[in-house]
Amino acid sequence: MLEIKVLGPGCANCKRLEQMAERAISELGLQATILKVTDYEEIMDLGVMSTPGLVINGQVVVSGRLPLMQEVSDWLAAAAG
């Protein structure tokens, strides 16, 4: 099962990124846990200085921008192996 973290304080782009991740998981038929990380200290501990951010299985795949839906799908498919 994949562990996905959506990093951000709850801004519009953070919420949109979470929705994109949920949609990609559904479309790919994956099993995943999505966690919302809003604590700035925890976000900075992950090495992310600007949000939104996305972490898949402990690896930061994007930060500081809203990725394309296809990028999110590709990252999740690759992580699922």
Would strands 53-56 and 32-37 be described as parallel, antiparallel, or unpaired?
unpaired
- From 8-12, 23-27, 32-36, 66-70, the region with the lowest mean pLDDT: 8-12
Active site annotation includes 65: no
Active site annotation includes 17: no
Choosing from 3, 10, 11, 38, the catalytic residue is 11
- Which percentage of the chain shows pLDDT scores above 90? 99
CA dihedral 28→74→22→43, nearest 10 degrees, is: 150
pLDDT in tens, 36-72: 999 999 999 999 999 999 999 999 999 999 999 999 9
Choosing from 4, 7, 14, 56, the catalytic residue is 14
Domains of the chain: 2-80 (3.40.30.10)
Q: What is the mean pLDDT of the chain?
A: 97
Question: What pLDDT does 49 receive?
Answer: 95
